[in-house]
Chains A and B, each alone.
Chain A
Amino acid sequence: MSLSTEERRPEPVKAVPVRHVGRWIGGAIVLALAALAVRSIIVNPNFHWELVGPYLFDTRIANGLVTTLLLTVGSMAIGIIGGIVLAIMRLSPNPVLSGAAGVYIWLFRGTPLITQLIFWANLGALYPTFGLGIPFGPEFVTWQTTATITVPVAALLGLGLNEAAYMAEIVRAGISSVDEGQNEAAGALGMTRGKTLRRIVLPQAMRVIIPPTGNQVISMLKTTSLVVVIGYTELTVVAQQIYAQNYKVIPLLVVTAIWYLVCTSVLTVFQGFIERKFSQSTIQTTGWASRMFGFRFGGGKDRQ
């Protein structure tokens, strides 16, 4: 082989690409089915689209939506804070703390949420009063249980304390996912356990914690409708109350579905933002459209 000064450019590959016949047929079938579905949704008069618009912004529906959102935010706040505390207890070298967290998780994950909601609503039957005082000694302040644990409080407690058990496992998985070398490096620099957890471990655990937490929030948004069992009303219950009177079941279900989808979409985009903030240093995340629907624009670049 001789090296000449005139370099021979290799010829670019010109080949007939593989024809993906199956993909085209599959795509055509799916598009046809989608067109049929959309057509029937628009044409079928039983959907009563003329009613959806007015009910979408009905004050009763709006109030129900606000309750749903407040319950979601409140119970998730309890769930996330409780979950972090439980996870740290679970991972503690102290067997009593770790055992207590284990029992809590076992109990709250192991019994139905409906049972827990009803339990909190009926706490007054078990303990008519509760107070602050010296154990086995005198009490300084006493409250009536039924006056303090009202229906909204019971709803928040029921949803939040149950959520904490699930969040605890999510946070624990996140903390465990961080390499032990990180703890050693921080320790060798003179950082205490608490500071290491706050500054080094939790920020890295967030990458693992956020996606399932997003799932939990979206799931909670809809789980809040269970509060109907203790006589509380939110979006779904309000819709039920309205169609119980006027029998317009489908349009009202469409209205609630639209609101749930709007909230879920906003949450999904928001989750994407948080994920990007915490993964700055490690991986690139995908855009909002692909996050929400799984579409891959531009030929689907693989994640690294």
Chain B
Amino acid sequence: MNPMVKAEGVCKRFGRLEVLKGIDLEVQPGEVMCIIGPSGSGKSTFLRCINHLEKVDAGRLSVDGELVGYQQRGDKLYELKENEVAHKRREIGMVFQRFNLFPHMTALENVIEAPVQVKGESKAQARARGAELLDQVGLADKAKNYPRQLSGGQQQRVAIARALAMQPKLMLFDEPTSALDPELVGDVLAVMRQLAKDGMTMVVVTHEMEFAREVADSVVFMDGGVVVEAGKPEDVIRSPEHERTKAFLSRVLRKD
């Protein structure tokens, strides 16, 4: 079986600033990987490369055996057309730090927008499934509410339902709880925990060490655009080998 995500020497540069300096990692199907590290370490950028929101400058990045954003024919790489990129993104769900719900649509409309507009599902079918998904994230009674009428935690759970509506094979979470009030974090993490239990492949950029320790199959510590340390959560978080990991964890864990 192909790894769900495979990165080999992935580099990314914004102007003169080198954000990723050769990332190598693999995510297996069904695996939950948490990426931790200080801000500015490139972890969000790497996540955004996986669904081609950012273009990779060097190295190879593939999802489920297929290159991201390019196609190889012979020994030449061809850039994918816009609609081909869009087509591939259908299978990768993404949850953003700032939720990015569509403010002019109700919660249910947010959830059914892509299935109807992108996949061409019938509205009735999409509605039924959308209601199910909202129920799954504990928001069955908020279907008709607009995003501004929901709390941050509720908005983020709608955003998760919206991503799941496309039936993705991979879910990317970009600091999904960083913009939330502390008392709302738990509800979102509970939904993600259930998702992991159901066997979804997930890559999660997070500062929630407790969640990483408990839910992740593997933890990757990034700093300065490179993977410093990777392995089982108990190894990386409990007994880190590298000085940088130790320093970071001692700063983060002191808060707990």
Does B252 have its Cβ within 8 Å of any Cβ on chain A? no
Q: Is the beta-carbon distance between A188 and B146 smaller than 8 angstroms?
A: no
A190 touches B102 (CB 8 A): no
Closest to A195 in B: B117
Bound-state CA distance A113–B83 (Å) is 42
Contact (Cβ within 8 A) A184 B53: yes
Task: Mark out the residues of chain A between 169 and 206 whose CB falls within 8 Å of any chain B CB in the assembled complex.
Answer: 179, 181-182, 184-193, 195, 199-200, 203-204
Cβ contact within 8 Å between B114 and A189: yes
Say yes or no for A2: interface residue by CB 8 A criterion.
no
B253 within 8 A of A: no
Say if the beta carbon of A281 comes within 8 Å of chain B.
yes
B96 within 8 A of A: yes
Residues of A within 8 A of B90 (CB): 189-190
Contacts A184-B53, A184-B96, A199-B113 known; A191 to B118 CB distance under 8 Å? Answer: yes
Count residues of A near B (Cβ-Cβ below 8 Å): 22
1/0 contact string of A69-98 vs chain B (CB within 8 Å): 000000000000000000000000000000
Residues A282 and B148 in contact, CB atoms below 8 Å apart? yes
Q: Does B77 make an interface contact (CB < 8 A)?
A: no
CB neighbours of B101 from chain A (8 A): 185
A189 to chain B, nearest CB (A): 4
A282 contacts across to B, CB distance below 8 A: 103-104, 146, 148
Residue of A nearest to B116 (CB): A199
Shortest distance between the CB of A27 and any CB in chain B (Å) = 38
Are the CB atoms of B89 and A187 closer together than 8 Å?
A: yes
- Contact A189 to B100, CB < 8 A, known contacts A184-B53, A281-B148: no
Q: Which of B83, B94, B102 is the most central at the interface, judged by chain A CB atoms within 10 Å of its CB? A: B102
Main secondary structure of the interface of A (DSSP, over half): helix
Specify which chain B residues have a CB less than 8 angstroms from the CB of A281 in the assembled complex. Answer: 103-106, 146-148
B49 to chain A, nearest CB (A): 13
Q: How far is the CB of A198 from chain B (nearest CB, A)?
A: 9
Q: Is the CB of B83 within 8 A of A185?
A: no
Are A188 and B94 touching (Cβ within 8 A)?
yes
B249 to chain A, nearest CB (A): 30
**Measured CA separation A181–B53 after assembly (Å):** 11
| Contact A190 to B100, CB < 8 A, known contacts A195-B117, A199-B117 | no
The residue from A181, A187, A189 contacting B113, defined by CB atoms under 8 A apart? A189
Q: In this assembly, does B87 line the interface, its C-beta being within 8 Å of a C-beta of chain A?
A: yes
Asked whether, in the complex, the Cβ of A185 is within 8 Å of the Cβ of B96, the reply is yes
**Other-chain residue from A179, A187, A280 in contact with B53 (beta carbon distance below 8 A):** A187
Cα distance A179–B101 in the bound complex, in angstroms: 11
**Which residues of chain B from 187 to 245 have any CB-CB distance to chain A below 8 Å in the complex?**
none
Which residues of B from 89 to 115 have beta carbons under 8 Å from A?
Answer: 89-90, 92-94, 96, 98, 100-106, 113-114
Are the CB atoms of A189 and B166 closer together than 8 Å? Answer: yes
Question: What is the bound-complex CA distance between A188 and B86, given in angstroms?
Answer: 8
Are B100 and A184 in contact, with the CB atoms below 8 A? yes
User: A199 CA to B113 CA in the complex, in Å?
Assistant: 9
B162 proximal to A (CB < 8 A): yes
Contact of A204 among B89, B103, B118 (CB under 8 A): B103
Tell me the smallest distance from the CB of A183 to a CB of chain B, in Å. 9
Q: Are A181 and B96 in contact (CB under 8 A)?
A: yes
Bound Cα distance A189, B148 (Å): 21
Judging by beta carbons under 8 Å apart, are A191 and B117 in contact?
Answer: yes
The reply to whether the CB of B82 lies closer than 8 angstroms to some CB of chain A is yes
Q: Is the CB of B104 within 8 A of A204?
A: yes
A6-18: CB near B (< 8 Å → 1, else 0) gives: 0000000000000
Q: Would you mind naming 5 contact pairs between A and B with Cβ atoms under 8 Å apart?
A: A182-B100, A190-B88, A192-B83, A281-B148, A282-B103
Instruction: List 3 tightest A-B contacts by C-beta distance, closest first.
Output: A190-B90, A185-B100, A189-B114
Q: Footprint of B on A, CB under 8 Å?
A: 179, 181-182, 184-193, 195, 199-200, 203-204, 278, 280-282
